[in-house]
Amino acid sequence: MCAPWATTQVAPTQSCGTWFFAGAGLETRPYNLNRGRSFVLEEYIPMSIIEFRVALTAADFERLIVFYRDGLGLDPGELWTDNGRGQIFSAGRATLEVLDSTHAAAVDQLEVGQRVSGPIRFAFEVPDVAAALERALQYGATLVHEPVLTPWQHFNARVQSPDGLQITLFQDMNTHT
């Protein structure tokens, strides 16, 4: 079994490495924990998330504020000044990617040529990767790798923020001309 706590058994001809949908008449999402055993489904009903935030702790607060505001063009919002400082930035639509180490290494290989990023890497979709890269570098980013075209037709550049975080700037060539 891939997930011993799951409730629905899939026909034996279906493999554990394939995604399937469970449930009847309910909104469900694919769910699969591939552990090399027979495949079992669990019904998954998503929780309503209103906002996704990533909180960074900065050693050089001012430098990072300038980088994310001016270098990446994020829209500043609320600023907190009680018990230290905090700044909200709007970054468009948020998506969380969870990658296993093999896939993360493959992305690094495509974008940079070797494994370089740590457990967290930001990726920002931009309308013009060359302009975004130039702007990020002007405000303190370090170039990790020039833009490359990925097999999924994204034009990706890799930079490192002033505090050392790996950031991918990407342009979707399927939708941007």
Same structural domain for residues 82 and 5? no
What pLDDT is attached to residue 40? 53
What pLDDT is attached to residue 60? 92
Same structural domain for residues 26 and 69? no
Domain assignment present for 25:
yes
Same structural domain for residues 25 and 108? no
Tokens of 28: 């469900």
Q: How many domains does the chain have?
A: 2
Domain assignment present for 56:
no
Residue tagged 């996704």 (tokens) = 52
Per-residue pLDDT of the chain (177 residues; tens, 9 = 90+): 333 333 444 443 333 343 333 444 444 444 455 545 444 556 767 777 677 788 899 889 999 999 999 999 999 999 989 889 999 999 888 887 888 899 999 999 999 999 998 889 999 999 999 999 999 999 999 999 999 999 999 999 999 999 999 999 999 999 855
Domain assignment present for 177:
no
Domain assignment present for 168:
yes
Domain assignment present for 54:
no
What pLDDT is attached to residue 109? 94
What pLDDT is attached to residue 13? 38
Same structural domain for residues 78 and 39? no
Same structural domain for residues 27 and 77? no
**Chain centroid offset of residue 124 CA:** 8
Nearest Cα residue to 69 out of 154, 168, 162, 176 = 162
Q: Where are the beta strands (DSSP E) in the chain?
A: 8-9, 40-41, 75-80, 86-90, 121-125, 142-149, 154-160, 166-172
Same structural domain for residues 74 and 22? no
Neighbours of 161 (CB within 10 A): 22
Same structural domain for residues 13 and 78? no
Same structural domain for residues 77 and 16? no
Same structural domain for residues 67 and 29? no
CATH of the domain at 120: 3.10.180.10
pTM comes to: 0.67
Same structural domain for residues 84 and 127? yes
* Enclosing domain of residue 11: 1-48
Domain assignment present for 69:
yes
CB contact at 8 A, 159 and 126: no
Same structural domain for residues 114 and 141? yes
Same structural domain for residues 43 and 87? no
